Amino acid sequence: MALHITLATYTFPHQVLVDRSKLEAFGIACTVKDGLTIQVHNFYSNALGGIKLQVHPKDYERAREVLSDHPDISAEYPDAKLKCPRCASGNVDGVGLNGKIALIILMVTGLPIPVFSKKYHCFECHEEFKLPNG
Ligand SMILES: [Zn+2]
């Protein structure tokens, strides 16, 4: 039985689907771990460490190349240009109360929750950090 290793980690299901379709277009088999859980419980995504896209070790290097040759995701997700201050990884995403979540809280509770204390989480070294002006 092939043991798969994690190629990349994502916060939201639609992100992993984009990369998965790229890999499959290049004939690289991959599996998505924790995807179903997160589709049902989207807010728990960060607590679970994100959705993992996994490939067979023999495909790992090629899979990295496929994804890095197609960096169009960064245009769609502005946060992708962020770098972790500790390990310089780009594999970071916002946590806490960003605009969309704060809007939902506002609708549910009627309370205007502060939305400007956005933090970021690095999926590589699990550092949490704020932007200098954030
Ligand atoms: Zn890091």
Instruction: Report the alpha-carbon distance of residue 97 to residue 118 in Å, rounded.
Output: 6
Q: How remote is the CA of residue 44 from the centroid of ligand 1, in Å?
A: 20
Q: How remote is the CA of residue 59 from the centroid of ligand 1, in Å?
A: 24
What is the pLDDT at residue 44? Answer: 54
Residue 35: which H helix or E strand, with range? helix 35-40
Where are the domains positioned within the chain?
Answer: 1-76, 77-134
Q: How remote is the CA of residue 129 from the centroid of ligand 1, in Å?
A: 9
- Other CB atoms within a 10 A radius of the CB of residue 121 amount to 19
Q: pLDDT (tens digit, 9 = 90+) per residue, 34-56? A: 755 555 555 555 556 678 899 99
pTM, two decimals, is 0.44
Q: How remote is the CA of residue 27 from the centroid of ligand 1, in Å?
A: 30
What is the β-pairing status of strands 30-33 and 119-122?
Answer: unpaired
Check whether 116 has a pLDDT greater than 80. Answer: no
